[in-house]
Amino acid sequence: MKLTRLPHHTLAIVRGRDRAAALRTVLTLAEEGLTATEVPLTTTDALWVIEQARRELGPDALLGAGTVLTPGQAARAADAGAGFLVTPGVVEGLGTRLPVLMGAMTPTEIISATSHGALAVKLFPASLGGPAYLTTLRAPFPDVPLLPVGGIDAAAARAYLDAGAVAVGAGAPLIGDAADGGDLTALRARAAQWRSSLAEAATL
């Protein structure tokens, strides 16, 4: 898994209360070109969503499980077809060979996450420090891939990428209510606006 190849530098986070709607959301995002997706295990029947999405999208899709806290959860996510894991904080000994995006916020946590083999550090909740905090972290951690998550809309995504983020996690500002059974047409419109906004940023 190469984070530099995430389409539009975006990891879409699909969390919802309706498993069928969550699956439709994952597939709709893929149709709109946002093909890197995390399904948090707090989503209703998340493993079913991952399994069905993997079946529809194929073995090469960038599809992972989020909010992974235990080795048991990690194993079940891998069995369901997750290609990577995402944790909300530093979690040791998940026991799979899958890449892990490990959550951290402070320098100490970042050091711990990288020492435990994290592919990248999920800077969470990024909204506490904003892009300026990420810029500050780049000085002591120039080689650590940082992926901010938490309340990031398209404008903030541009600022984080400019500050040195390898990609951003896009949750509610992108997904809206789609994973709870909301309007997929509105989701497509938000996805198009997101792509356009980040494409414009890439040309600046």
Task: List the catalytic residues.
Answer: 38, 122
E strand map for the chain: 10-13, 36-40, 62-66, 85-86, 100-104, 120-123, 146-148, 168-170
Cβ count within 10 A of residue 112: 17
DSSP 139: T
DSSP 147: E
DSSP 106: S
Sign of CA dihedral 69, 71, 76, 77: positive
DSSP 143: T
Q: ∠ CA(161), CA(144), CA(139), 5° rounding? A: 75
